[in-house]
Chains A and B, each alone.
Chain A
């Protein structure tokens, strides 16, 4: 008993329950009504607003903020959901500092943008707390559409199709719908089981059947069979594979994929049961790496080091996220790549080699160093795995043209599995939505 951050090895309950509860509480407290009014009043209601253009789902941001300012957050929520049915989750996880808030004219002018993300959350939370669903389903069309993958892209696509009166069946390999919203995002961004609540709320449009535990390619669930049985198929299967480090000794114990670590954390009923190392090393430079590193620290790891092979400016995690990690005590090392995992049955140290950006790309400098590690998490990217045969790929992803049309007739794709666009929740929503409109147009 009595584990602490200093306890050697990979152990659970390094922190008391109260500390864990506080660490994994809401990253940003929701606005009170008055705070929302004050924040909303800062919006200049720009003409042809830059924030709106920066939003992958093109939410009418000035309008929804004005609706908040005038005391109608429910109408604001409708404005948001018109464009982005997962506006509640996007309000929590969007890298707004790289999207709408980055181009806000008040960011440009004063270095302090209108807090669009938090305002969006205020609006969507207000409407969802009333348990109201602001859309009605059109008269049934008799058309049947299969959606594979119940992540942001699939859910957005399914909702828009259902709104148009089509019958949708959503298949997902996992036990729960939600995709990365449910399994892949840091807990403190989506507390109180929000991802599942949002899915339940979304499904209230009606006309959507969700079949979980059904993976493409298993149990007779093939793309060909789906295409034959349905008027259209949408693939939003995400990126199921994780890239390996390619470092010697990688196959030893306590070396894991960051996505699995995050998934375990998100699914844990009791955070005190989750084991975490005393010295955790995370390798990667994206959001997954940051989420894994920060959460390791919040679970009570004494030392967490995030190592990225390139410079800070090349990290795909936003500056805000890097600062967040630093503020939580994560040590970030740039320009170092793993060459060897050392340990007898379990990782004990990781050896890195420094790198520099040379004329021929990234080059090792020959200088090495070792970090103590009893847990190593890999977060150097995911890749498409198990893409159905017959689909043209592009850069390892499903090739699409127009609004997500694949090389196969009547098959669309969107989200992370499809080529093009950033791997963001909000981009996936936009792609799912647009594919649904295209499918609807084709079926009409």
Chain B
């Protein structure tokens, strides 16, 4: 049985599944129940400065993107940071940590970009016994209008400056939570690293309007006929998050910086994907908000089974395994040639591959009498669209041509050796062949 124990920045938790800073981690009641349900750690809902608490809207805070049968694919929110008094949160955090010493408890913090503000709050957080802090430089709505959240995360210099303050006034690990609402995620990550951050966590939510009410002509979620962009999360954002995590993991300037992976983690499989792309653990929110705390049981059992099947003994062995396989386009092997193959026994004759290829791709599928669909090798560029639109798993697969075979499309013999764009004759900048 694989060991799921996680050691992230020296913070130990029984598994790598943490609940992200969000409504599920709003208060003692929730966090205790989450720990009882089996979550390895919790990032407490973001704390603000002392004083009158934040106020939230009193109408809908969430908008949604549905798939079939109201399956929740994407969620956005316009909720702000905690709207409970600072001292209440701190007292609760201290109590919970004392009762659950084996679980990770992280304090998320968002205060103004002034040293005094950080200096004031950090010692108080430290007193709670929390295992570390996460700097919320990510929230793209509401607080950003006040110069916090993603307004900081979009300026690498600010990230570095605030991170330094935190390292100065706080002794435990500092995690910087990054906003994806930026052109190149490596820049803020590098800034965090330069500021002394122990880790980055990403992604925070993405600027979004989930829908427009076509009767009221107002964006969702709407408040009294008006809407404001919210932060998008859930399964739909996972591909964006995976890419950003991998960019930080493989960039020489940031490689080795621990990463807490966030963004649409819904199943054990999603979590495993984040881990192999370099995340040391994962944070979950939308899936818990959709299905409740119990889902962590599936995440634990699934990750454990997969690790057993693959022979991984610990989470650390998994982290970053796939990073060497993330590369630039120019390094992809142009002598790797595949063709689509349709398994006629599995084919249910829906014709979606044909419609997709004929109308929008390379006219490489023939529709023969009796609704028999066959790939035309002399036209197939192996784009994979037929595989993607086929409703039957494994009905269409991409089969590699062996070296020495003829690619009927180009008429050329398949070369055995790896060769990429950098040396391709069509590349004006190609290195001259020897």
Contact = CB atoms under 8 A, between A and B. Distances in A.
Contacts of A6: none
B349 interface: yes
Given A38-B69, A105-B348, A105-B349, A44 B391 contact: yes
Contacts of B68: 38, 41
A48 B351 contact: yes
Interface in B231-258: none
B182 interface: no
Interface in A36-66: 37-38, 41, 44-50
A50 B352 contact: no
Contact of B350 (A38, A41, A105): A105
B44 interface: no
Nearest to B358: A47
A50 B351 CA distance: 10
Contacts of B349: 46, 50, 105, 108
A109 B354 contact: no
A46 B350 contact: yes
B348 A106 contact: yes
Interface in B62-78: 68-70
A44 B351 CA distance: 9
Interface bin, chain B: 10 to 19
Nearest to B69: A38
A47 B354 contact: yes
A441 B70 CA distance: 48
Given A47-B354, A47-B355, A109 B69 contact: no
Nearest to B389: A44
Contact of B352 (A44, A106, A109): A44
A45 B352 contact: yes
Interface string A117-145: 00000000000000000000000000000
Contacts of A41: 68-69
A49 B367 CA distance: 13
A40 to B, nearest CB: 9
Contacts of A34: 70
Contacts of B391: 44
B392 A109 contact: yes
Contacts of A48: 351, 367, 371
A54 B388 CA distance: 28
B352 A46 contact: yes
Nearest to B395: A109
Contacts of B392: 109
Interface in A75-106: 105-106
A47 to B, nearest CB: 3
A37 B66 CA distance: 12
Contacts of B69: 37-38, 41
A34 B70 CA distance: 9
A44 B355 CA distance: 12
Residue of A37, A41, A44 most packed against chain B (CB within 10 A):
A44
A47 B351 CA distance: 5
A109 B392 CA distance: 9
Contacts of A49: 351
Interface string A216-241: 00000000000000000000000000
Contacts of A46: 349-352
Q: Which of B348, B355, B391 has the most CB of A within 10 A?
A: B348
Interface of B: 68-70, 348-352, 354-355, 367, 371, 391-392
The 10 closest A-B pairs by CB, nearest first: A47-B351, A109-B348, A47-B355, A41-B68, A105-B348, A46-B350, A44-B350, A105-B350, A38-B69, A46-B351
Interface of A: 34, 37-38, 41, 44-50, 105-106, 108-109
29 contacts: A34-B70, A37-B69, A38-B68, A38-B69, A41-B68, A41-B69, A44-B352, A44-B391, A45-B352, A46-B349, A46-B351, A46-B352, A47-B350, A47-B351, A47-B352, A47-B355, A48-B351, A48-B367, A48-B371, A49-B351, A50-B349, A50-B371, A105-B348, A105-B349, A105-B350, A106-B348, A108-B348, A108-B349, A109-B348
